[in-house]
Structure 1
Amino acid sequence: MSEKLYPLKFEPLYQYRLWGGRRLEHLLSKPLPKEEPVGEAWLLSDRKDHASKVVDGALKGKTITELMQKYPVEIMGKNSRHLERFPLLLKFLDCHEVLSVQVHPSDNQRAYIPKGDTGKTEAWIVLETADDSIIYAGLKKGTTKKDLMEAIENNSVSDKLHRFIPKVDDAVFIQSGTLHTLGGAVVFEVQENCDVTFRLYDWDRNDPKTGKPRELQVEKAIACIDYHQVEIGPITPIKSAEVKNAEQLFDNEHFKLWRIESDTPVDVGFEKEPVILVCIEGSGSMDYQNEAYAISKGEVLLLPAIVGQLQLNPENKITLLQIAIPKKNSNKKS
């Protein structure tokens, strides 16, 4: 059974968002839908409504959901005993306009999470910026629930948020419960496999498709805000001792992420655990069981646990994000 698995490449799933744009067409080879604003490309998604499909090889057309059901141990290794679906959701976001001011619940806030879902901790890596780029992350120090409720009444919510102007390569960690939004940037996002978002404020705008404002979830948002999450800024990368030619950007209970830059052969993946590779710049290839597997800008490869570690051979220089799932993750269905 396990011999059927190989490095798996997935087709991106595009999502209309009123705040989106057209910049993802420079990042991905799959054409964007007509002329509507595309805010998100879901790169690897094990969701009932949007399941990623394999684009090549013997498993072409199979979804990650089907593969997780058929090959749980081969894909996830030891983590398979804890997981009934792939635990992360990966995206590119084109935030042409600013998103709603929003918050996501934490894993222990079960009353606000649909059955089968988790909380949502996420992180961003900034890929492109513009003159109007802005990130709001966390509250200003000292902001209370009362302050925030008054700001909602006065349409001044953004005045209570910490903000900064992002630069390309900035990495920002958004713990669940953090009030946040961003605009004027293209980012890569890694998150828990959850699609629960509570909008606190949406800049008094209408959705062009409906002519109406989008629904807000003020009470739920207020209930899920962690008032200790204040003044969040970019993290400081750490040179990795574990991965060659890499810096570690994130290391938490949900995901570990390294940025690899190399113009010479470099090892990717780990033995007996799954790893996801996301190519940000350049291209390269890996050999597995006498087959070559290429990866280029905008593409995603899942290396199942059974595949183990491979040597990546860059064509010129390549920039990759390598994402692993900590073994301690025991993310069961809620």
Structure 2
Amino acid sequence: MEQVTLYPLKFEPIYQYRIWGGRRLENLLSKPLPPKDPIGEAWILSDRDDQPSKVSYGKLKGKTIKWLMENAPEKLMGKFAGQFKRFPLLLKFLDCQQVLSVQVHPSDDLTAYIPKGESGKTEAWVVLETGDKAIIYAGLKPGTTEQKLRAKLDEHKVADDLAHFTPVIGDSVLIKAGTVHTLGDVVVFEVQENSDVTYRLYDWDRIDEKTGKPRDLQVDKAIACIDFNKTDIKPVTLVIKSEVPVQREIVIRNEHFDLCRITGELPFMVGKEATPHVLICVDGKGDLEHNSDFYSLKKGDVMLLPASIGACPFVPKGEIILLELALPE
């Protein structure tokens, strides 16, 4: 195994064509979008075999997250080394110019609906931008049964059975596996289990301009994965953890990921010894210090702090809003 020295890492975003996407990610990320196509997703930390993230600068430029997991597992993952075959979270920015398909992801225990090598999929969103038609559908309306849902599908009125709300910037929403969901006219940060298992229930009867056909649905599999008790999901209530020197709020804490929001303009510490952390800059800018070197972070930047570098000071340049993501201990 190679001797690898790790440092704070940024990765090249991987843009994804989506029928429901737009062009708003060019206001968030510095890498130019592919011309013309609607871009719905930017994968910003992806340990997927077909599309692995690549380091964007420094001595490790061009190395993939998969290479790092294989060649420096202890330095990258610390106490979690050996627990995961690949980095366990997939991070994205989404530009939902139109409403996504109505969909559901299986829970980890529904193995019959999870392809080999995949897992279930719990995810969470943090709303970064909203449009005039912004909407989040999360969970079913109370009392919805499989029979009622199938009847609404036949009538092309499935939205009648979906709970929804109008999101505002800063809203955070936890979508546990088994929750029927979709969203539209928003830009969000998404963190999820490292899985690509999605079953479409309904796609608003639209046609993909690239194929001239509607996208495939997986109605029976989707319904089999729905937890009909997951109803009327609302934004989570943030819990203030500390207010000095900056405000730290617990956004989401579950068995898959811990997400914290940091707001302020005074220097503060990020990261932790022996565990990897990820920083997502929502607004503002600043510098992270490590080994007397400074690493800049601005709105739209995502930075992985390997476990080996431990806690680091962060110095904002004015007020900053930063998300800090960790694996549960």
TM-score range for the pair, normalised by the shorter chain length: over 0.9
What are the Cα deviations for residues 100-151 of structure 1, in whole angstroms up to 9, with x where unaligned? 0000011111111111111100000111111100100000001011111111
Give the letter aligned to residue 132 of structure 1. K
- Report the Cα offset of residue 193 of structure 1: 0.3
Partners of 1:21 and 1:302 in 2: CA distance: 27
Matches within 5 A, 1:1-334: 4-241=5-242, 244-327=246-329
Structure 1: gaps spanning 5 or more residues: 328-334
Give the letter aligned to residue 277 of structure 1. L
Instruction: Give SS of 2:148's match.
Output: helix
Note closer, same or farther for the CA distance 1:199–1:276 as it changes in structure 2 (3 Å cut).
same
* Identity within the alignment, %: 57
Instruction: Give SS of 1:50's match.
Output: coil
Give the letter aligned to residue 264 of structure 1. L
Partners of 2:235 and 2:288 in 1: CA distance: 32
Give the letter aligned to residue 300 of structure 1. V
Partners of 2:23 and 2:212 in 1: CA distance: 21
What are the Cα deviations for residues 191-243 of structure 1, in whole angstroms up to 9, with x where unaligned? 00011110000000000100100000011101000001000011111001499
Structure 2: gaps spanning 5 or more residues: none
Kindly report the root-mean-square deviation, in angstroms, between the aligned alpha carbons of the 2 structures: 1.2
User: Is the CA contact (8 Å cut-off) linking 1:178 and 1:226 kept in structure 2?
Assistant: yes
- Report the Cα offset of residue 245 of structure 1: 2.1
Instruction: Give SS of 1:276's match.
Output: strand
- Report the Cα offset of residue 81 of structure 1: 2.5
Q: 76-85 or 185-194: which moved more?
A: 76-85
- Report the Cα offset of residue 279 of structure 1: 0.7
Give runs of ≥4 in structure 1 deviating > 6 Å: none
What are the Cα deviations for residues 54-88 of structure 1, in whole angstroms up to 9, with x where unaligned? 00111000000110011111111111221111000
Partners of 1:30 and 1:192 in 2: CA distance: 25
Instruction: Give SS of 1:178's match.
Output: coil
Partners of 2:59 and 2:292 in 1: CA distance: 15
Partners of 2:3 and 2:289 in 1: CA distance: 17
Partners of 1:3 and 1:187 in 2: CA distance: 34
Partners of 1:182 and 1:286 in 2: CA distance: 34
Size of the aligned set, in residue pairs, is 327
Partners of 2:208 and 2:4 in 1: CA distance: 48
Partners of 2:145 and 2:13 in 1: CA distance: 40
Partners of 1:93 and 1:133 in 2: CA distance: 13
Instruction: Give SS of 1:223's match.
Output: helix
Instruction: Give SS of 1:240's match.
Output: strand
Partners of 1:148 and 1:23 in 2: CA distance: 33
- Report the Cα offset of residue 300 of structure 1: 0.8
Q: 21-30 or 241-250: which moved more?
A: 241-250
Partners of 1:3 and 1:98 in 2: CA distance: 44
User: Is the CA contact (8 Å cut-off) linking 1:135 and 1:182 kept in structure 2?
Assistant: yes
User: Is the CA contact (8 Å cut-off) linking 2:122 and 2:176 kept in structure 1?
Assistant: yes
Partners of 1:17 and 1:240 in 2: CA distance: 37
- Report the Cα offset of residue 293 of structure 1: 1.1
User: Is the CA contact (8 Å cut-off) linking 1:2 and 1:74 kept in structure 2?
Assistant: no
Scaled by the length of structure 1, the TM-score of the pair is 0.96
Scaled by the length of structure 2, the TM-score of the pair is 0.97
Give the letter aligned to residue 289 of structure 2. D
- Report the Cα offset of residue 290 of structure 1: 2.2
What are the Cα deviations for residues 138-181 of structure 1, in whole angstroms up to 9, with x where unaligned? 00001011111111111111100001110110000000000000
User: Is the CA contact (8 Å cut-off) linking 1:2 and 1:306 kept in structure 2?
Assistant: no
Partners of 1:291 and 1:208 in 2: CA distance: 48
Instruction: Give SS of 2:127's match.
Output: strand
Partners of 1:127 and 1:236 in 2: CA distance: 17
